[in-house]
Structure 1
Amino acid sequence: MTKLSVNINKIATLRNARGHNNPDLVQVALDAERFGAQGITVHPRPDERHIRYNDVFALKDQVTTEFNIEGYPDKRYMEIIRLAKPAQATLVPDPPEAITSNTGWDTIQHKDLLKDLIAELHSYGVRTSIFINPESKYFEPAKETGTDRVELYTEPYASTYHIDKEKAIAPYLEVASLSKDLGLGLNAGHDLDLHNLKFLKEQIPYLDEVSIGHALICDALYYGLENTIQMYRRQLEV
């Protein structure tokens, strides 16, 4: 079964626009779980433009599915993980000013750094995942870092899916098979939506988890949050 983790960054962005607690981030997370989300993802950036430091700790004792905290592993992030002890820490290489994640780790260049970070995260009892591009050269070095999983950066897939879905999926099939052979768990995320998710799951049936935020929240404006989460869950039940 591939789990659906709902990224609630956009809920925090909406709340922050008015400076009050509407919508209530914790309540939305609890409702998302009640509606069928199998995990909650947050990405607390240093400028707190969406998820705030305090949000992480308000959520950590409330989330009953899998709590996934993604981010760039600076000292602040590592301290958040040490204190919050989520189910999973997803390491992304984007700088603090980035609007969104737009590439994966160069696990060749940064292997030693990642190895040290992952050892520290494991000492906290936290499962780790590395955000990674669909290029085979990065996967054996990823295995050598000691990470539990890799998260496939799926924006290139999503951007070309509507043009040629077979071509779009091809590099992902190669690295997914390699991940399986290496014994790495496999997550996926970025620009996945109701149009391209089912095909991804059909082609890579052993995905452990997908993390989806922007598209899911946009769809919820039309379909409602409960219905939207169920729609996404159905795309994964193939």
Structure 2
Amino acid sequence: MNPLLAPEASAVHSHGQRCALSVNVNKVALLRNTRHLGIPGVLRAAEACLLAGAQGITVHPRPDERHIRPADVRELAALMKQWPHAEYNIEGNPTQNLMDYVRELRPHQVTFVPDSEDQFTSDHGWNLPADRERLAPLIAECQSLGVRVSLFMDPLPEAMAHVAALGAERIELYTETFASAFGTAREAEVLAGFTRTAEAALAQGLGINAGHDLNRDNLSLFLRAVPGVREVSIGHALIADALELGYTETVREYLRSIQRAYAA
């Protein structure tokens, strides 16, 4: 383990598995792309987050290159080789440009997301079993390359058996509905749906990731209620916080939020 990792990185949930923080650096690239000066640096941001204790880096390279660009994906893959205890997660639609990166770089994990090419942001999970036929061979190819597959999914307990039947190792719960309900009268009801989905996923032997609009305010509550979450992927809120707090303190704040979720 890197000796510079923050002590907060040791948070472990009730299933004995650490919940990892993977930092999505897309928004760093989005800001950089507004000028031609190369700042802020995507590699510098990723390294600062890893030094602060983040256990992974996530990117979602879209075909229009609006933020992360192909060179970024490759340079980050090279950087991650210097961090053997951290994971590299590449997200995207496997029917667009994602599989080219998988074949070339073989990251630790790919997250299949059903985005259209012009979609503003990810806003729904896969429709199973309807999407089974097109996903099955792509999942099999990733696994033949030694790459773990996570499917971006809505909180639907009945869909977990279909994910397991496809052979994907994990799901990533699309958490926007929880974030929208946080602090409202609907919070408990919506959160209960995520709990039931996680329980169904665990019963099928699936690993659980989560992401989308998680932040310092809502993260602890989500992790306390949803069993077995192995990784949260956080980008927009974390990078926004880093503009005020800096990368190091921001990452450590998120790690503290994870730790608080599992405190006695």
TM-score, length basis structure 1: 0.97
C-alpha displacement of 1:162: 1.4
Q: Which residue of 2 aligns with 1:203?
A: 225
Is 2:88–2:109's contact at 8 Å kept on the other side of the alignment?
A: yes
Q: Deviations over 1:38-62 (max 9, x none)?
A: 1000000001000001111111011
C-alpha displacement of 1:205: 4.1
Moved over 4 A (4+): none
Is 1:111–1:144's contact at 8 Å kept on the other side of the alignment?
A: no
Report the Cα distance in structure 2 between the residues aligned to 1:137 and 1:102, rounded to whole angstroms: 19
Q: Which residue of 1 aligns with 2:58?
A: 41
Within the candidate set 171, 180, 190, 2:212 is matched to 190
Letter in 2 for 1:182: Q
C-alpha displacement of 1:75: 5.0
Report the Cα distance in structure 2 between the residues aligned to 1:20 and 1:98, rounded to whole angstroms: 27
Within the candidate set 46, 50, 55, 1:29 is matched to 46
Structure 1, unmatched stretches of 5+, are: none
Report the Cα distance in structure 2 between the residues aligned to 1:118 and 1:178, rounded to whole angstroms: 21
C-alpha displacement of 1:74: 2.0
Report the Cα distance in structure 2 between the residues aligned to 1:168 and 1:175, rounded to whole angstroms: 11
Report the Cα distance in structure 1 between the residues aligned to 2:96 and 2:211, rounded to whole angstroms: 24
Is 2:198–2:227's contact at 8 Å kept on the other side of the alignment?
A: no
Report the Cα distance in structure 2 between the residues aligned to 1:205 and 1:130, rounded to whole angstroms: 18
2:198 is aligned with 1:176: yes
Q: Which residue of 2 aligns with 1:155?
A: 176
Percent of matched pairs sharing the same residue: 43
Structure 2, unmatched stretches of 5+, are: 1-17
Is 1:15–1:23's contact at 8 Å kept on the other side of the alignment?
A: yes
2:110 is aligned with 1:89: yes
2:79 is aligned with 1:56: no
Is 1:72–1:93's contact at 8 Å kept on the other side of the alignment?
A: yes
Q: Count residues with an aligned counterpart.
A: 238
Report the Cα distance in structure 2 between the residues aligned to 1:37 and 1:21, rounded to whole angstroms: 23
- More deviation, 15-24/151-160: 15-24
- More deviation, 74-83/126-135: 74-83
Q: Deviations over 1:144-170 (max 9, x none)?
A: 110000000000011001103312201
Is 1:115–1:144's contact at 8 Å kept on the other side of the alignment?
A: no
Q: Which residue of 2 aligns with 1:113?
A: 134
2:184 is aligned with 1:167: no
Letter in 2 for 1:213: G
Is 2:173–2:210's contact at 8 Å kept on the other side of the alignment?
A: yes
Is 1:5–1:41's contact at 8 Å kept on the other side of the alignment?
A: yes
Q: Which residue of 2 aligns with 1:229?
A: 251
Report the Cα distance in structure 2 between the residues aligned to 1:74 and 1:158, rounded to whole angstroms: 28
Report the Cα distance in structure 1 between the residues aligned to 2:197 and 2:76, rounded to whole angstroms: 33
The CA RMSD over aligned residues, in Å, is: 1.0
Secondary structure in structure 2 of the residue aligned to 1:140: helix
Secondary structure in structure 2 of the residue aligned to 1:62: helix
C-alpha displacement of 1:189: 0.4
C-alpha displacement of 1:137: 2.4
Is 1:71–1:92's contact at 8 Å kept on the other side of the alignment?
A: yes
